Structure 1
Amino acid sequence: MNTEQTVRTFIEYFEERGHRRITGSTLLPPPGDPVLFTTSGMHPLTPHLEGRPHPLGRRLVNVQRCLRTTDLDEVGDRTHLTVFEMLGTWSLGDYEGPQSLDWGYGLLTDGFGIDPGLLHATVFGGDEQVGPDTGSLELWQDRGVPVELTVDDNWWSNGPTGPCGPDSEIFLWTGETPPQSTPTRDDRWVEVWNHVMMRHRRLDDGTLVPLPQRNIDTGLGLERLSSLLQGRSSVFECDVFDPWRRLVPTLWQLDEPSLRLVCDHLRSAVVVIGDGVRPSNTGRGYVLRRLVRRVLTVLRRDDQQRGLGDLPDELVRHTLDHFRQDMDPDLVRQVLLDEERRFGRLLERGRLVLSRPRFRGPLSEEDFHYLHDTHGLPRDLVLSLRPPR
């Protein structure tokens, strides 16, 4: 099942159960949202989760592109991406958690053909303010799925204050042996789907009050799901990365972690540019700048002549088409090349600064902070510019 078929199966399954498909938004969150980028499908729906009626009703489904800066340092492993797509469903004061989990179990096992014996669930076990999530626990026990009770790992919140509630996560076994242990003790259990029972609001003093309505908010990463359904060992081997895996190694010889980072960051940069962001020293523009410069730092670590001018048009077009972005690929390339030129000037300045007697010996944390704050030289760039010792 390729990624397009996965999306179609997901959407149609929930449409058959009364959900209306809503159009996913761009990476830019709605006005008033404090985050730089949309990090989940629920961001554009926040007013409706807090009680405002949605024009399409109480049951919704969509595909939302997301960006998580918190995952930047995780990129290179087998499950994390900077920009990804999130499949999501919502009940706005309609059905409850056990119904959502029952449908989720049915889609995974019947719709996607996953062996039920490879599933494991985690459920909120209760704390001093909220009791255990017995409804989810009983549902999983009825389905014969093993359950692990946790506290912090199964409480979802959107920050220190605001909407929150218990959640139940569904994991798939990816090991070569029969399933063993539990999700918190063995990372061969990979999280596939999170079902949040969004019932509370946390106030400034830490107390919880009921939301105007009891909601369900679920989300699962499309690329991660696709890689699992396709029997691939990482998200970078699912079909949406096929053009990248085919073309990038012909341009630059890279080890596997570096190849993953370059593919992820370039793909993410194209999507960010496609949504109207341009490089800058602050906010969203700084995230884009960091993505591009991390790519250039990796590429030039072994060969100073490597550059983004070699990036095939096919990869830019493929990415814009996949994320349904109406932008001229040539404009995207121009933004990338302009940033590469700025980075080149930064490299020249960096070499001059690092040639000073002060920086010829081992660098202290104070030196790294000074180089970053005064000269705009990040740690990874400084380390790449210093000759081996």
Structure 2
Amino acid sequence: MRASEIREIFLKFFEKAGHMRVASSSLIPFSDPTLYFTNAGMVQFKDVFLGAEKRAYTRATTSQKCMRVSGKHNDLENVGHTPRHHTFFEMLGNFSFGDYFKEEAIAFAWEFLTKTLKLPKEKLIVTVFEKDDDAGKLWLKHVSKEQIFRLGEKDNFWSMGDTGPCGPCSEILWDFGSGKITKKDLEGDRFMEIWNLVFMQFNRGADGVMTPLPKPSVDTGMGLERLACVLQGKKNNWETDLFVPIIEKIRSIVNLPPLPQGENESTVAMRVIADHVRAASFLIADGLLPSNEGRGYVLRRILRRAIRYGRKLGMHKPFFAAVAEIVMKEMGKAYPELLQHKETVEKVLTNEEERFLETLDRGLNILEEEFKQLQKAKQSIVPGEIVFKLYDTYGFPKDLTELIAREKKFDLDEKGFE
């Protein structure tokens, strides 16, 4: 089943259950200064959860564009190295604004996964907040006691950020393995979280105090990439139809033969480029441009990381526009803004590549020379003034210098840079 079909089946399921289908909001949460980017489906409904806004519906369903590259939710360093971390991803969600609560949310999730998608019940594991007895009892209507695990606040109490709506949550995990399960097993790669059901009960203020929300509500989120991975019988998201066409385009451009499965330098590079160009395409289509501050600088950092990985594959000229064309072809129907801003996306990507390629080699040469000097002196810390020079003169974001240094077993002088 293609990811585009999964997305539509999800939205139609909840439409039939009385939910309003609501379009994804922008990746740029213009009305919320506490967030750099939209990082969850509930962001566009934040004021509804707080009781500050009323809408014509009390149930909603969305496929929301999300970015996790800053603040509390930041997956940037893991991209390419793990089976399931991305900067941009799609979050499928259903929401109740003071309408239904835990019992219905749990029942909806179980029906969709086991009846609509026909996933085997024995492969699904559930976690609940250790103090949430209600959720624990409700789950026993659907799964055995052995499939339910109680976890602490770190794992099963969700909040959008340091402040805002929050509450206990219940996660549904997919079991890639078989046999007996212990709580410690949940931390390994055998299990993958596919759906998080958040029971919004509180609003956390700047002082950390939690006050009850006007009406308990429900906010759920399920990564489309992860669900596609399960339904398409893959072991990692990169092998799903969301990424294969993009990675294959990169492979053809850089003229690489098919590579063996598993992580190696070339596969990591192609995954990073696929992820970062996909993310950048959506950000630019939503009106963001690369700059040296704020959200624009995050976009620039993402692109310059991707450019450097392109260099590792032997690329010395711009090629991101051709990769973005595949992103638009695959996702333009679901997100028409990609096609509406196609020329802008391609132009911005190419301009940013050309700009950084002019200084990339000079910066890399400076770093290589510094590495040689440090090795001679038997030292392992790149001086802060070198990190700053690369940033100020050659346009190297600090995290890019850190990435290159880490590959060579060096650390940065963080204090010296600051």
Quote the Cα distance in structure 2 between the aligned partners of 1:68 and 1:308.
25
Using the aligned pairs only, state the percent identity: 32
Bigger drift between 254-263 and 63-72 goes to 254-263
Alpha carbons of structure 1 residues 94 and 260: separation in structure 2 relative to 1, 3 Å: same
2:196 matched to which residue of 1?
194
What letter is aligned with 1:232? K
Give the conservation status (yes or no) of the 8 Å contact 1:75–1:261.
Answer: yes
SS class of match (2:125): strand
| Per-residue deviation, residues 304-332 of structure 1 (Å, max 9, x unmatched) | 53532683574153256153214343332
**Alpha-carbon spacing, 1:199–1:279, altered in 2? closer, same or farther (3 Å):** same
**Do the aligned partners of 2:269 and 2:313 also contact (CA within 8 Å) in 1?**
no
- TM-score, with length taken from structure 2: 0.83
Task: Give the 5 Å matches for 1:313-324.
Answer: 314-318=325-329, 321=332, 322-324=334-336
Q: Report the CA distance between 1:286 and its aligned residue.
A: 1.1
Deviates more, 1:98-107 or 1:295-304: 295-304
- 1:128 aligns with none
Three-state SS of the structure 1 residue aligned to 2:269 is helix
- Map of 1:341 onto structure 2: 354
Q: What is the DSSP-based 3-state SS (H/G/I as helix, E as strand, rest coil) of the residue aligned with 1:135?
A: helix
Counterpart of 2:342 (choices 302, 319, 329) is: 329
Rounded Cα–Cα distance in structure 2 between residues aligned with 1:35 and 1:276? 16
Look up the SS of the partner of 1:199 in the other structure: strand
The answer to whether the Cα contact below 8 Å between 2:50 and 2:203 also exists between their aligned partners in 1 is no
Structure-2 residue corresponding to 1:147: 148
Within a 5 Å distance, the mapping from 1:220-299 to structure 2 comes to 220-252=222-254, 253=256, 255-299=266-310
Does the CA contact (< 8 Å) of 2:370 and 2:382 recur in 1? no
Amino acid in the other structure paired with 2:240: C
Mark the runs of 5 or more structure 2 residues left unpaired by the alignment: 257-264, 410-418
Q: Is the 8 A contact 1:118 1:179 kept in 2?
A: no
Does 1:181 pair with 2:182? yes
Moved over 6 A (4+): 355-359, 385-389
Aligned residues of 2:60 and 2:96 also touching (Cα < 8 A): yes
In structure 1, the residue matched to 2:312 is 301
Q: For 2:141, what is the secondary structure of its paired residue?
A: helix
1:336-375 alignment, distance < 5 Å = 336-347=349-360, 349-350=362-363, 353-354=366-367, 360-362=373-375, 364-367=381-384, 369-371=387-389, 374-375=392-393
Structure 2: how far apart are the matches of 1:52 and 1:104? 28
- Which stretch shows the higher mean deviation, 181-190 or 91-100? 181-190
State the alpha-carbon separation in 2 of the partners of residues 174 and 387 from structure 1: 31
Contact 2:319/2:350, CA 8 A, preserved across alignment? yes
Q: What is residue 72 of structure 1 aligned with on the other side? A: 76
> Which residue matches 1:17?
17
Q: Following TM superposition, by how much is the alpha carbon of 1:241 offset from its aligned partner in structure 2, in angstroms? A: 2.1
Q: RMSD across aligned C-alpha pairs, in angstroms?
A: 2.8
**Aligned position for 1:41:** 41
Hey, what's the Cα distance between the residues in 1 that align with 2:245 and 2:301?
Answer: 24
Pairs within 5 Å for 1:130-145: 132-145=131-144
1:27 and 2:30 are equivalent in the alignment:
no
Q: Which amino acid aligns with 1:366?
A: P
Judge conservation of contact 1:20–1:56 (CA < 8 Å) in 2. Answer: no
The separation in 2 between residues aligned to 1:358 and 1:181, in whole angstroms, is 45
CA displacement, residues 104-162 of structure 1 (integer Å, 9 cap, x when unaligned):
0111000111000001111111xxxxxx2111101222212411111121011122332
Distance apart, 1:374 and its partner CA = 4.3
TM-fit CA distance, 1:171: 0.4
**Alignment-derived partner of residue 108 in structure 2:** 103
Partner SS state of residue 240, structure 1? coil
Is contact 2:318–2:354 with CA below 8 Å preserved after alignment? no
**Kept after mapping to 1: 8 A contact 2:317/2:357:** no
Preserved contact between residue 321 and residue 346 of structure 2 (Cα < 8 Å): no
Count residues in correspondence.
382
User: Could you list the per-position Cα deviations for residues 182-211 of structure 1 after superposition, in whole angstroms to 9, with x for gaps in the alignment?
Assistant: 463433110011011111122344332211
Q: Kindly provide the amino acid, as one letter, of the partner of residue 21 in structure 1.
A: R
- Asked if structure 2 preserves the Cα contact closer than 8 Å seen for 1:61 and 1:90, the reply is yes
Rounded Cα–Cα distance in structure 2 between residues aligned with 1:290 and 1:93: 40
How far off is 1:293 after superposition?
A: 0.9
The alpha carbon displacement at 1:53 in A equals 4.9
Q: Helix, strand or coil: the match of 1:197? A: strand
Q: Aligned equivalents of 1:135 and 1:71: distance in 2?
A: 32
Q: So what's the TM-score if we normalise by structure 1?
A: 0.89
Rounded to whole Å, the distance in 2 between the matches of 1:342 and 1:6 is 39
